[in-house]
Structure 1
Amino acid sequence: MDTPRHNDRYLTLPDLEGRIRAGEIDTVIVAFTDMQGRLQGKRLHAAYFLDHVVDDGTEGCNYLLTVDVDMNTVAGYEMTSWEKGYGDMEFVLDFDTIRVLGHLPGTAMIQCDLVWMDHRPVEQSPRRILTKQLERAAAGGYRALAGTELEFIVFDDTYEQAWSRDYRGLTPANQYNVDYSIVGTTRVEPLLRDIRNTMYAAGMDVESAKGECNPGQHEIGFLYADALVTADNHAVYKTAAKEIAAGHGKSLTFMAKYNDLEGSSCHIHLSLRGDDGSLVFWDDERGERSPLYDQFVAGVLATMRDFTLLYAPNINSYKRFADGSFAPTTIGWGLDNRTCAVRLVGRGKGARMENRVPGGDVNPYLSMAAMLAGGLHGIENGLELESETTGNAYTSGKPTVPTTLQEARDAFAGSEVARKALGDDVVDHYARMAEVELEAYNAAVTDWELRRGFERM
């Protein structure tokens, strides 16, 4: 098979132990990905890691999967609360994910799964949610391959300066549209090069960097891999890119919509192979898509509204969906058509679907789990693929993606497909996450309201 689980730039546990004993590594980060897609965990002294954590593991508070973005504890989650005492959960180290982080001196990282202290999986953990859908695919004889394309905006201000200015009036690293511009990327190349090379050394297969439309907006692309590897890499890259930018005296954001110009997307490419590496999305003899590929895409489209919450998880996500913005507003598919929610590209082993709904703020585990759940629903029920959307999908009159977080939350909470595929505990948990964001937003007085109403209303 041409997509191994990992490459030789990852470390084995004996490799890591050797580097620790040689004094090359003195810090081991153990981290999991939380609801918001952030890495959370601990920095362990390397000697303590070898002497205690390798065999005995480590723990963290279970509130980490029930807090808002500000780390506030909020009510309404079934898995833990003040009444339940906010106990611990165990970090189960995945020793297949050991990597060196070259931008942090003497540091390696290991990503984790989460289990309760009685060793039951924490079903609400994003990595667990994706793993269950991958297991479901494997039971049907399929293996999922995926790639994510994350866009971000770079500013010449530090994160501290951005904070003190309420993230307004910042100076973008480019002053104009640098989409595919070589001179535009050269302006930011010291940062982009550092990110590319650091991520390559950390085990990622880097493809390229290119400019985008919004001033200061860029994208670094990575080669596709097994879906779980891609999600793990995505989470590490997103954190490391911010850290590396800070080291250059700059800041960058993955917000779906920073300003009134183009938003930042995270297009997700996904395909299935047979568990023996065979093509299942393509009929080589006939030179066309296979019926199974069409059924998979039909399932993703049929469940697009059900799972939009997992593609667009924040209030800000929905401001990206605008006509003529290259972010989709209608639910349809097209051949190499960037106005559609689902774009089909490639032939043969390169045949894949691109989901253009997610933004840069997406949690990769949840979004890929949603795509797999929808696609497998299509295969299991033999769904027929609707006619291709040709021309401008924005004016096609087709059904639209949800336009607000509330609408997406309600569609997700009421989805029989989501509850069957993910489980009631997961659906209720992430519906509550959306409610928390809505409650916080509805209680806030924005600068728009102040400017609009302070004197004139």
Structure 2
Amino acid sequence: MGTRNDRHLTMDELVARIRRGDVDTVVVAFTDMQGRLQGKRLHGRFFVDHVVGHGTEGCNYLLAVDVDMNTVDGYAISSWEKGYGDMEFVLDEDTIRLLTHHPATAMVQCDLVWPDHSPVVQSPRTILKEQLERVHGHGWTALAGTELEFIAFDTSYEEAYRLGYRDLTPVNQYNVDYSILGTSRTEPLLRDIRNHMYAAGLDVEGAKGECNFGQHEIGFLYNDALTTADNHAVYKNGAKEIAAQRGQSITFLAKYNQREGSSCHIHLSLRGQDGSLVFWDADKGERTPLYDQFVAGVLATAADFTLLYAPNINSYKRFADGSFAPTTIAWGLDNRTCALRLVGRGAGARMENRIPGADVNPYLALAAMLAGGLHGIEHELPLEDELVGNAYHSGKPQVPTTMSAARERFATSEVTRAALGDEVVDHYVNMADVELAAYRAAVTDWELQRGFERL
């Protein structure tokens, strides 16, 4: 059995490394609703003797908590009344990789099943795999790339907590967009991340500065959609760990301050299972009708799926006119003011979704894009004319501006329920309800500064 590339390991190779003593720790992890890696660190010999071929288990509350890991009401799969039983972690041997920023450590990513071996349909990885099965049923495969921005600080996570996440020291004190000098200032951190992620099996393209102070992006080569989502989760976790080891910190908040937010532009295309082009007619040198239908479907369902593109309260602060974050549901050719930007020709023809921020769960966002695109193909939706010029001032329909509005569209959409199923939709509607309730109950520093003395 082959591996995804020459840096991934087969199970036999991992077991051999453990027996030789080269690996003594195995991280067994899945990606939760919030896009975080959750799981266990297992001793290597225990992994070999008791987990290989069997998997392991974890409490089902891991898919029914808020970001603070508090148990909350409203989830059908997990509650005090149901006793908070276990889910099983099924090892995906395609994902075995070394984590060279930790000594003698490897990782295996997992799917989740119930004790009767039926899939946990609410698991983000399962949700994406379901949409990929639909794509496969048409004879296609999905290729994707995620462009994930972050802001890095010369402040440790512990000190950032003590400071209330205010007055941190960014690694750059000015706009370093494309600046070689500016990125040189933080190259030790960026180089560590690039090299450790390459060793973990990710195909690194490069790094560049961005607009906000201390904001950077490390790019990775596109891959099949599941591999891209798996790698995204590993990179996001690994970048934070590497920064922490250096006494620094990284945030993937969509909007850290009133300057530019951090995006996660997602590039997506379809190919035939034989590698043939689906989105481009080579003879005519133009987009195929199927490509146009796919884009039309993503446009038509953009508001329905915004909750999966913008899954947190903070996500909606990023949508601001003139910020390079989209506010308008429209498409354009190489137009960065639109929600959907079409770029490339031939094998490089692809759609870029500019709605997601850096806080996005890649499995859910890719699943939403595929579900929307398939809706367009299966209903042969016509593609509206491209938007030429400034989408911010076009008068076109707007991306939902609050989590509450996105929650309503997601909950009541026939498309979301047809594509994902009621169990999945209801689960993530409850996730939104939990966050909205917590936000409504919070007293913010903005309110205190505005009103403590003057009101």
Relative to the length of structure 1, the TM-score reads: 0.99
Match of 1:336 among 334, 337, 362: 334
Matched, 1:439 2:442: no
Work out whether 1:373 is the aligned partner of 2:339. Answer: no
Give me the whole-angstrom Cα distance separating, in 2, the residues matched to 1:410 and 1:106: 47
In 1, distance between residues paired with 2:27 and 2:247? 24
Are the equivalent residues in 1 in contact too, given 2:3–2:10 (CA < 8 A)? no
Partner-residue secondary structure (3-state), 2:382: coil
Q: State the 1:247 CA deviation.
A: 1.1
> What is the deviation of 1:205?
0.4
Question: Which residue of structure 2 lines up, in the alignment, with residue 107 of structure 1?
Answer: 105
* Matched residues, number: 454
Determine the structure 2 residue equivalent to 1:412. 410
List per-residue Cα deviations over 1:199-227 (Å, max 9, x = no partner): 00111000010000000000000000000
The corresponding residue for 2:289 is 291
Alignment of 1:72-83 (within 5 A): 72-83=70-81
Q: Paired residue for 1:21, among 16, 19, 22?
A: 19
**SS at 1:304's partner residue?**
coil
Between the aligned residues of both structures, percent identity stands at: 76
Find out whether 1:256 has 2:254 as its counterpart.
yes
Contact persistence 2:54–2:90 (CA under 8 A): no
CA distance in 2, matches of 1:326, 1:278: 33
- Verify the 8 A CA contact 1:214 1:261 in the aligned structure 2: yes
What does 1:6-405 align with in structure 2 at a 5 Å threshold?
Answer: 6-405=4-403
Distance apart, 1:396 and its partner CA: 0.4
Give the alignment's Cα RMSD to 1 decimal.
Answer: 0.7
Contact 1:5 1:225 (8 Å CA) reproduced: no
Contact 1:264/1:359 (<8 A) preserved: yes
Long gaps (5+) in structure 1: none
50-59 or 214-223, larger mean C-alpha shift: 50-59
Shift of 1:55: 2.5
Q: Secondary structure at the match of 1:110?
A: strand
C-alpha separation in 2, matches of 1:367 and 1:5: 25
Equivalent pair of 1:281/1:293 in contact (CA under 8 Å): yes
Asked whether the equivalents of residues 328 and 392 of structure 2 are also in contact (C-alpha less than 8 Å), the reply is yes
- Alignment check: 8 A CA contact 1:5 1:226 kept: no
Q: Secondary structure of the residue that 1:449 maps to in structure 2?
A: helix
Distance in 1, matches of 2:321 and 2:445, equals 25
- 1:5 is displaced (CA, Å) by 7.1
Greater shift after overlay, 310-319 or 15-24? Answer: 15-24
Moved over 3 A (4+): none
Q: Which amino acid aligns with 1:10?
A: H
| Structure 1 residues 351-375: Cα deviation after superposition (integer angstroms, max 9, x where no partner) | 0000000000000000000000000
Q: What amino acid is aligned across from residue 129 of structure 1 in structure 2?
A: I
Q: Cα distance 1:278–1:97, how it changes in 2: closer, same or farther (>3 A)?
A: same
Instruction: Give distance in 1, aligned partners of 2:286 and 2:384.
Output: 17
Render the CA deviation track for 1:214-257: whole Å, top value 9, x for unaligned.
00000000000000000000000000000000111100100000
Would the aligned equivalents of 1:5 and 1:229 in 2 still touch at CA under 8 Å?
no
Distance in 2 between residues matched to 1:178 and 1:55, nearest whole Å: 49
